[in-house]
Structure 1
């Protein structure tokens, strides 16, 4: 509230002035990226990233099948063709072995993708080092969709997304750090962020009058959103610890239930555990996913299936894909439990009790 009041009193409300710049600097410090552009949304950041990578009509853009539609929607709206690749069951993120086979096939056919966009799912970083190494072999740029992974890191301490040419973050209302909306595009290549910044400001050329060599967008983050995000960013380590504690408490209380398992943490990272996701196996004594979801809803508890894979979405029924059975199985059996950083133990106990009620012998 103090940050919002100070911003309003300063007269800076638009996407300009000291507060968005301060937010960008703080995010740069928190993530280790050399250059950051604050945007109106994570989707806006993705759109700018696709433009900076030169995506155009007819190009192929490859991404994980298991993600939110915003990962690829801007590229599709630009006329690109999406190709959805399956995930590794050990991490739920893009399978590098499958990616290698697909890149080799595409190279033989003379049709490499314009970009590969792996996803840090539910706060878990993908195997970015392996993905970037493969894409570098064929000269394909990587933009990492780290929208839900602010605060997550790899084993060597690098923040999620570091190593890709571009990384995208989201500060939507459900994220660990929120501005009530907003996003960011980050890179260690200053020219990419400078290009994105120009495009985010309607692609206006320097000068006293309005001069345009191309068209751009109104994609800057407002000072008000930046003030909210900046006020919260200092609490990022504590909020990641709180999410991991929520996950650990769920695992301790529910991990012994027959047929229930948790989204694994990949050995190459420290996930933020933005969302706690469980996997249900009815053949081992668990209820099916929808039975548990309905039961929780009847108890006044919101839960949600994991992302429906994009290759199963009607809008992408004709899109090419590589595999997809793993992502489809995770969708059929996966459920995200309440995971907020501010969950008090009694609130979590209520969720735990409601889940355990469907295992009569537990």
Structure 2
């Protein structure tokens, strides 16, 4: 049985989530809590396999509760938010940085036409995340460590394409926060994230990194020092050097935007001037696109196993023989600074 703890300040939500989960023959709701303080205590006492965590709660909100759990009794946590409005979304994204594995929307009323889909998303996400091996996350130091030294044998100044999924926000924070606001190359980013959370994710990036983050637009001319984030429901690609293309092509491997679409266009358009970075995430999205980068002479960087929350996408790329360097996000940042001739 999959043992789930639900933390939510709404009794209506607790009742609904409990009913949804206990309808599944392999899931047991081992406890419920009405705020973060009680939730942290129950995690310690009940040791659930996975936690469903609300964001806005009295006494201790979902972000603070996630930090407490991940620093004392690491447990897979899924943020289940009932609001797509700021500051709820930004707090949900912060919870990912604190160690939560995924953010999804809270199922609506059973009479809603989207109820079956949202119910299935909840159940599938909790099942999947319960299998992730999580580690203790201690509070970050006040001063970030200096980027490590790396040796590079060539410079590739054109464009940086990055893709991430589960565990991505933590890795992206470590990578992008080490780059200065005058970084001399544009950055294109695909982050798998639940519908409704993209604007909050972009806002969180702008609060966290020196670079400017924007939601990508069709036909947009890309500029150095800007992170262009793939929008919901469209593939982020390069149509020509210096221009973005958003497409409604079918999902690749179930994803739109997909890492493979971004990487394929990076290799096709920028050739040896393209850098592809594949970060923490489940599955194998990105592998097909990375072949185009390698074949064109571009550089492929993958997040190392020991620094990934989920070593899925980087593993698939490494096993396919497509990775030039497997390294931590901090070392990846140092390499990008070297490649673009920037002194950290």
Larger Rg: 1
* Structure richer in helix, relative to its length: 1
Per the normalisation by structure 1, the TM-score is 0.26
Query: Which has the higher relative contact order, 1 or 2, with Cα contacts under 8 A spaced 6 or more apart?
Result: 1
* Structure richer in strand, relative to its length: 2
